[in-house]
Structure 1
Amino acid sequence: MTVPHFPFLVAGRAATTEARIEVRNPFDGRTVGTVSEAGPEHIEAAIAAAAATAAEFAGTPAHVRSDVLTHISARLDERGEEIARLISGESGKPIKWARVEVTRAASTFRWAAEEARRWSGHMQRLDTDPGSEGRVALIHRVPRGPILGIAPFNFPLNLVAHKVAPALAVGAPIIVKPAPATPLSSLVLGEIMAETSLPSGSWSVLTVSNEKASTMVQDLRLPVVSFTGSVPVGWSIRELVPRKHVTLELGGNAAVVVCEDWCDERKQDFAAERIARFSMYQAGQSCIAVQRVFIHVRHYETMKQRILAHVGALSIGAPDEDDTDVGPLIDERAAVRVGQWIDEAVAGGATVLTGGGRDGAVLEPTVIENAPGGARVLDDEVFGPVVVLCRVSSDEEAFERVNRSRFGLQAGIFTADLHTAFHASRVLDVGGVIVGDVPSYRADQMPYGGVKDSGTGKEGVHSAMEDLTEEKVLVLTGIDVP
């Protein structure tokens, strides 16, 4: 079978070079596509074009931007199965989750299309003081400037969508740098964007190494950097360009609390199924995958057995098979690392209740209990199919232990008590508290982002649009204010 080649896109136009990169399926190592690597001249052309078109694009009528976004959403839907197969092939993501990702990406662009039409600013009367009678302020938001969007491998389409869609909605040029391991779906997104009437230079998708991306990070013509990825890289970007506007989504070790009042058997089984599924989905390679579970001692043994039963029911296998729940990690090196962390926890006194075995890049879904304090499976981001169960004697102890982390993205709280829910929202040092479900829940229109080492800034279409823009004030004088 012929392996497809994907060009990168500079200022909306396809380009190739002799430097080729093979993209391999993490499960079986087969080549699923090749891409050309962009050179320094392509990087310069993309940046220059973005800077040159910034003013023009910012002035594009709202209906034009909205129509473009609507077209992209519709085309993602039309090509959904093709793109899902591509995501599964390049990342090893089970096809069932790849299909969900395409649907979410289409939804993200649809939300952006709607927000683009509502993006209007507001009026403020200034005659509140005697010296400002007859004056009114019109306050609107304008793009901060061209954006560099750096995306990770784990959601190679939807996390690109969360950078591109808000940028296009506000009229800000964007250069996308996909993860080297998973560039294919973002390049197909580029193909779809090329079908639209977007101004030349308003977008590029460049396949470059992480090292070459440093040139773009430091270039002053790109005053905004939106980065999703690892903690060390993210904070190093912020330190490298302190005068730029930098948005960071850096992950975490998401926690679940099963509170004392969560007594109903049906509700307990629901919680157990959600914990099992969303600790292991996408092989745990999600920054809000369930990693730490704090269970009130009253329910610990029952919940443990329920979780183990649901984990045991998950299917491990080839990612392109419809019934596969858990596929490979992004590469064998990642699986080896996670295995080492499990071994370290066991050496410190932890017990592996199920899983722990590895075959290449595939790691069995693993449930651990009695992990010692300081174990990396508790303190760091595993980014693998591993969940750690912990007994707590009270809800308050559970909340304190959730906060005993350098991360703070989202937490899930299983409680039927409204007071407990509001209390958890007040005391938990995280960006979002999900009540009655796991922290892996995310609606693409809602604000999404963390605190502490989980980053700074918010995703979610409207929130990102605000983050990519700044207020500008127009004061009118001699106005008969109604």
Structure 2
Amino acid sequence: MPLALKVYQAFDREPIAELPADDAAALERKLQAAAKAFADRDGWLPAHQRMSILRKASALLQENRDRFAMMIAREGGKPLTDAIIEVTRGIDGLVNAADELRNFGGKEIPMGLTAASANRWAFTTKEPIGVVAAISAFNHPLNLIIHQIAPAIAVGCPVIVKPAATTPISCIEIVKLFWEAGLDERWCQTLITEDNSLAEAFATDRRVAFLSFIGSAKVGWYLKSKLPPGTRCALEHGGAAPVIVDRSANVDAIVGTIVKGGYYHAGQVCVSAQRLFVHEDILDSFTEALATKVAALHVGDPKLAQTEVGPLILPREADRVTSWIKEATDAGTKQIGGGRMSETTLLPSVLLNPPTEAKVSMLEVFGPLTCVFGYRDLDDAIRIANSLPYAFQASVFSTDIAVALRAAKHLDASAVLVNDHTAFRTDWMPFAGRRQSGYGVGGIPWTMEEMAEDKMVVFNQVT
């Protein structure tokens, strides 16, 4: 009997589709096709064709914007307004990858600096690294895929992408648009499976030159440990992003931005604002304003335009977040808001000063929750913010330049956002987790560099 993958709406668990799933034989066929395409160097697509395909795919995605946005809302649970923004970013990201090729090249290596190097001319060129295995996550089921496959297509790597089992349709449909744009199927394929053993075999196959993994740290670091010698990788995980709110901050002006950073996509974002360190001088006014904004968030069906907070991806995730909140409240932590709307949908909540050893203080919640901690000394807040074994993006809100600069210097983060939330991102900026939060650098131009290798050519003048 053929394998099948059932896809459900995140909000109400209603079935969307039953898709054919891949088995080991299908994986082997796809790896063979990709490896064969790469081995034929005469068949590599020239840059102008890759640019044309990326631009055509972008135009096709623009034509299908609303269809993709609705699918993201259905299978991923992201509110429709935010899903439209995700598709819009994807449209631009494809053009970004094409445009980057205008400046994607090598450089001259100086010769003649010693007698031994005289009469030589040397330069580097860029070559694709090889077959790319991309494993993606559910929370941005279109744009994360684009961040993995657009750089591969741009530099000329065959790519096979495995979407999250909960959100495969957006992936399948964007790959179809690439084919419609003129890309031979061998250069961009999907692997549809919920079989973890098959996914591991895919990621660690000797024919894979580069693994792009977005997902849990436990799985990502495990796969990295299993890679064959010579295989390169990039890992993107998460954290518990810290936000420092200085006493000079204008509470009314910033609270909406912080709420967006903490409750966007129900907190299912790897850099979601989670730990809010607020100066004691404004702690009460900030907490009151935060609670008011959070209580006003419209929670419900993500397909509706007015919805601001939708469901978690699975019932077990709602159960997990609920249990973590209970652990904190059982220890005496005050909770503002909260509750459960449905099997997968939690009402947003705020926890005030949970214990440092509580899961909500130590681990990535990935749910509609922020934790507020009061502080008196800035350096103490920074020390606690830096105390976890992972680090990604961080924020500081302040109108005092000295405070902003000190926080920017001392926060352990790959990016410090000043007067903006931790979830801010553009698709052309570097995006990377530190320590346990990741390995390598994301962002379309940066991933293109990771998926390419320099080759040096040296000419010796024969006289």
In 2 relative to 1, CA 139–419 (structure 1 residues): closer, same or farther, beyond 3 Å? farther
Residue 248 (structure 2) aligns with: 261
Any conservation in 1 of the 2:206–2:228 contact (CA below 8 Å)? no
Answering whether residue 423 of structure 2 is matched by residue 440 of structure 1, we say yes
Any conservation in 2 of the 1:335–1:358 contact (CA below 8 Å)? no
Answering whether residue 217 of structure 2 is matched by residue 234 of structure 1, we say no
Residue 153 (structure 1) aligns with: 138
Any conservation in 1 of the 2:389–2:436 contact (CA below 8 Å)? yes
Answering whether residue 197 of structure 2 is matched by residue 214 of structure 1, we say no
Residue 460 (structure 1) aligns with: 443
Note the 1:342-381 alignment, pairs <5 A.
342-381=325-364
In 2 relative to 1, CA 229–135 (structure 1 residues): closer, same or farther, beyond 3 Å? same
Unaligned runs of 5+ in 2: none
Amino acid at match of 1:73: S
> Secondary structure in 2 aligned to 1:340?
helix
Residue 24 (structure 2) aligns with: 40
In 2 relative to 1, CA 302–112 (structure 1 residues): closer, same or farther, beyond 3 Å? same
**Residue among 148, 158, 164 paired with 1:179:** 164
Moved more, 113-122 or 371-380: 113-122
Any conservation in 1 of the 2:431–2:441 contact (CA below 8 Å)? yes
What do you get for the CA RMSD once the two structures are aligned? 1.7
Distance in 2 between residues matched to 1:271 and 1:318, nearest whole Å: 27
Amino acid at match of 2:296: A
1:83-118: per-residue Cα shift (whole Å, max 9, x none)? Answer: 111111111111111111111111111100101232
Note the 1:330-341 alignment, pairs <5 A.
330-341=313-324
Cα deviation, residue 242, structure 1: 5.6
In 2 relative to 1, CA 194–433 (structure 1 residues): closer, same or farther, beyond 3 Å? same
**Residue among 56, 65, 72 paired with 1:71:** 56
- Identity fraction in percent: 34
Any conservation in 2 of the 1:411–1:439 contact (CA below 8 Å)? yes
Any conservation in 1 of the 2:430–2:446 contact (CA below 8 Å)? yes
**Residue among 273, 294, 297 paired with 2:256:** 273
Residue 308 (structure 2) aligns with: 325
Any conservation in 1 of the 2:5–2:193 contact (CA below 8 Å)? no
**Residue among 121, 132, 153 paired with 2:106:** 121
Amino acid at match of 2:412: D
1:124-171: per-residue Cα shift (whole Å, max 9, x none)? Answer: 222223332222321223222101000011111100000001001100
Normalised by the length of structure 1, the TM-score is 0.92
Any conservation in 2 of the 1:135–1:479 contact (CA below 8 Å)? no
**Residue among 248, 266, 270 paired with 2:235:** 248
Distance in 2 between residues matched to 1:423 and 1:436, nearest whole Å: 14
Distance in 1 between residues matched to 2:158 and 2:326, nearest whole Å: 47
Residue 290 (structure 1) aligns with: 273
Cα deviation, residue 207, structure 1: 0.6
Unaligned runs of 5+ in 1: 1-16
Any conservation in 1 of the 2:204–2:228 contact (CA below 8 Å)? no
Any conservation in 2 of the 1:349–1:370 contact (CA below 8 Å)? no
Residue 33 (structure 2) aligns with: 49
Residue 312 (structure 1) aligns with: 295
> Secondary structure in 1 aligned to 2:429?
coil
Cα deviation, residue 300, structure 1: 1.0
Any conservation in 1 of the 2:242–2:275 contact (CA below 8 Å)? yes
Any conservation in 2 of the 1:339–1:358 contact (CA below 8 Å)? no
Cα deviation, residue 324, structure 1: 0.3
Residue 25 (structure 1) aligns with: 9
Any conservation in 1 of the 2:396–2:408 contact (CA below 8 Å)? no
Note the 1:189-204 alignment, pairs <5 A.
189-204=174-189
Answering whether residue 161 of structure 2 is matched by residue 162 of structure 1, we say no
